[in-house]
A and B are shown apart, each in its own frame.
Chain A
Amino acid sequence: MFERIKQQILKPQTFLNIDAPLMADKGNQEINSSLYPLALDYYHDLNPCFSFNINSLALLKKFPIITFRDGAFSFASFMTQNHAHFTGSDQLILIHKEIEHFAPSHLKKNFLSYQMTQTHRLNIKNAKRIVIVGVLSDQVLEDGHLLEEKLSLLDQISDDATIQLYLHSRKGPFQQFYQESTLIEPFKWKLFQRLKRQPVFLTSSTLLNLNNLGDTFVINLQPNRFMIADTYLDYLFASKGATISDWNLSNFDNSELFTHPISLYHQIEISPIQKESVYPDLILKKKLLNRNNLITDGHYWSLARQIF
């Protein structure tokens, strides 16, 4: 399968090559705006996209390789509803390593998993700038204990490091209706207590234009890959030389991996699926629920979460 990836990189058949509306205009606006700026587009030759922005499955099938940036939930919702479109296809689909058990067992030959790795990583103790990025909603904060683990990184930073904070409250991206949050403000309080110094608050435009990030360590307050697996901000900062908290150092010695540079400083590492599939469970839950639209279904969210 790696040979096919090589071919694609050499002569990419990408979403950019077609004018037809493969993606809905501006995608699924409600989900995208709740996730902003995590779900903004970026390009590499393996067609990165989110399932919730796909407008035409017929057109999607024309591309030999696609990379889903989805987290476990939206990928599970999409796949349980649309797996028939991929049956019998030789399309190659990449999903994030941490959600690889969500790949349908009967389509295993179509799937590989990926993760992003960095050619150089800074120890947080040596970082001169810490950027904390949090797009907060109750759906994010369900995993508060994981977030607290992430915040424990702050105990290691040097006294003269500056802390820049982008912390915005949003509707749960996969909630049907807006509900007032009970978790966001208490979480912010915990965070500020932990900071022990005055942070610099960033607006979106300042955040998206940060430069010269070689001395910067980024803590992305998404607790795991359940909601989103590959964020635009991780891409953006890594491509400017920052160290991303959840990523690893590149592994050049493993012959079972295929690697391809995404920027000057980071690469995508592709490997065969190893974990056992939980897909039969997902299908069962879907049948039990008997709903048409799963992506904003609170019950399906809970069920998929249990499996995750």
Chain B
Amino acid sequence: MFIFKKSSLLNSKKNWFNILMTKIAFFYSFTPSNWISCQKIVANLLKSYKMIQGNDHKYCHVNNDTSISSLLKQIKEVREWGAEKIIFLDHFPHPTSVLSYLQNEYEFETKKPALYFHIYGDFSLYYKTWTACNFLSKWNIHWICASDRQVEYLKQLVVDQNSVSLCPFPVDEAEFSYNKNLRNLQRQEWKRSDEDKILIYTGRLSHQKKIHTLIKFFAQQKLRIPQLHLYLYGEFDNLGDPFVGFGTTEGQYFSKILRLLKTLPKETQDAIHWMGGVPNKQLKNAYHGADLLISLSVHHDEDYGMSIAEGLSCGLPAILTDWGGFSSFARLEIKEWIKLIKVSLGFKGRRISLKELNTLGELAIDTMDFAPKTKISNTSLSYFSLESCKLKLEEIHQLPLKPFAGFNSLFHNLVDIHNFTPIPFIDFKRNKINSIYSKVYGPYVRKN
């Protein structure tokens, strides 16, 4: 007599379910990155991936302190588990620290998992390191960029342009979304009245973020509108502008800003509020207390702009440079509330159009009281919420894959230059930016 065992049915159901599921292994650092925005990005990408049904996940920890034996053990487990896809979520350590061991582990396997790389702004710092991907010609590879312009930038460096897709870095609406009740709360904390007009900047305070240009612009506007205030959240750093040979020592940019402040009228100095680095929760309130988000960054790594995405999620209109990832934030429905200031590439590097900054910036300040905050928040979140990124990732993961066709001549040209000098974009004979700079960063600026 056949004896039906309930547990065996359950097990077999579970097994069938498992067979239908796609097995995905994620490599990232379980300890948070030193870059605050990257901490949030990795956590939010993971949340979006977890929302996708029908996948079985395995999480692998890799950071600078991971021993080779631990890494080898994890890679072995990934192979034995039967991973079909491996996703590199993090920017650090560089994925190539895992790739060579993967290559060894799968050397005799005919079916290798597909590799997906989420690309960050620091891609350009590691051309030489990325050449390690060249040995992966038998692996299916896909690149995921966070903004339209980063897609263009990367497409000019790889042979197979179809291997590059777009998925913004997600914002968790539970952490950043518009709540009209928070405005008064924050104003009270700042000891500001409802009549005060408040601009906000969040992010690193460094040379390439053009805090000096921002302060000069603010000082001009303050003369026009006395109740204007500027709140800056973030810490100073010493990043300088290494690609064009401008290095700074720790503290140098702070001194520069201090000297600039001393040239301003007392009322203007008093209206600039240096808030330092604060936890995420405080940032949400700060965005709600403000009237306008402003960033004039021309940072070479500005592939996206996580702090901008969070500010927009809280309904703020914005003045942004038309540089790198920022342009993706000016969605059609809210375009008039996101003023993009032209940046051009000249013989001295990136140049912000001061004419546009003055006209569009002034317009943004004059109209900020009428900004439809709910619409700005909803439109922005519909582009980069956890849910919408989940949908984009689902689409990306259904795309047909091809073995890695390699990097192209422009990429190899860049590798050669980086091998030769740490200052790749200066023509030392003519003391100006060289032509390859415009080629590489051409996609980061407005065409006309």
Contact surface of A with B, Cβ cutoff 8 Å:
9-10, 12, 16, 40-45, 203, 205-206, 209, 211-214, 232, 235-236, 239-241, 261-265
Contact = CB atoms under 8 A, between A and B. Distances in A.
Contact of B277 (A42, A43, A211): A211
Contact of B235 (A12, A42, A44, A239): A239
B110 interface: no
Contacts of A40: 250
Contacts of A264: 235-236, 254, 274, 276
Contact of B276 (A12, A42, A43, A241): A241
Contacts of B258: 261
Contact of A43 (B235, B250, B262, B279): B250
Contacts of B65: 203
B276 A265 contact: yes
B63 to A, nearest CB: 9
A42 B249 contact: yes
A16 B262 CA distance: 21
A45 B250 contact: no
B64 A263 contact: no
Nearest to A214: B276
Contact of B64 (A9, A203, A214, A241): A203
A235 B277 CA distance: 16
Contacts, number: 66
Contacts of A45: 255
B34 interface: yes
Given A209-B34, A239-B236, A240-B235, A263 B277 contact: no
Contact of B249 (A41, A261, A263): A41
Contact of A235 (B250, B262, B279): B250
A265 B275 CA distance: 10
A176 to B, nearest CB: 30
27 contacts: A16-B252, A42-B249, A42-B250, A43-B252, A43-B255, A44-B255, A45-B255, A203-B64, A205-B34, A205-B64, A209-B34, A211-B277, A212-B36, A212-B277, A212-B278, A214-B277, A232-B250, A235-B250, A235-B251, A236-B250, A239-B236, A239-B251, A240-B235, A261-B258, A264-B274, A264-B276, A265-B276
Interface of B: 34, 36, 64-65, 235-236, 248-252, 254-255, 258-259, 262, 274, 276-279
Nearest to A40: B250
A41 B64 CA distance: 25
B302 to A, nearest CB: 19
B251 A262 contact: yes
A187 B279 CA distance: 36
A211 B252 contact: no
Contacts of B278: 212, 214
A183 to B, nearest CB: 28
A42 B65 CA distance: 27
A45 B259 CA distance: 10
A240 B252 contact: no
Given A45-B255, A209-B34, A241-B277, 4 more contacts: A44-B251, A214-B276, A262-B251, A264-B235
A293 to B, nearest CB: 29
Given A203-B64, A239-B236, A240-B235, A16 B249 contact: yes
A232 B255 CA distance: 17
The 7 closest A-B pairs by CB, nearest first: A209-B34, A43-B251, A43-B249, A42-B250, A43-B252, A212-B277, A42-B251
Contacts of A241: 276-277
A10 B259 CA distance: 7
Contacts of B64: 203, 205
Contacts of A16: 249, 252
Nearest to B258: A261
A235 to B, nearest CB: 7
A203 B31 CA distance: 13
A212 B279 contact: yes
Contacts of B252: 16, 43
Contacts of A212: 36, 277-279
Contacts of B251: 42-44, 235, 239, 262-263
A40 B255 CA distance: 18
Contacts of B255: 12, 43-45
Contacts of B235: 211, 239-240, 264
B275 to A, nearest CB: 9
B250 A240 contact: no
Most buried by A among B36, B255, B262, B277: B255
Given A44-B255, A205-B64, A211-B235, A240 B249 contact: no
Nearest to B275: A264
A42 B251 CA distance: 6
Contacts of A265: 276
A240 B250 CA distance: 12
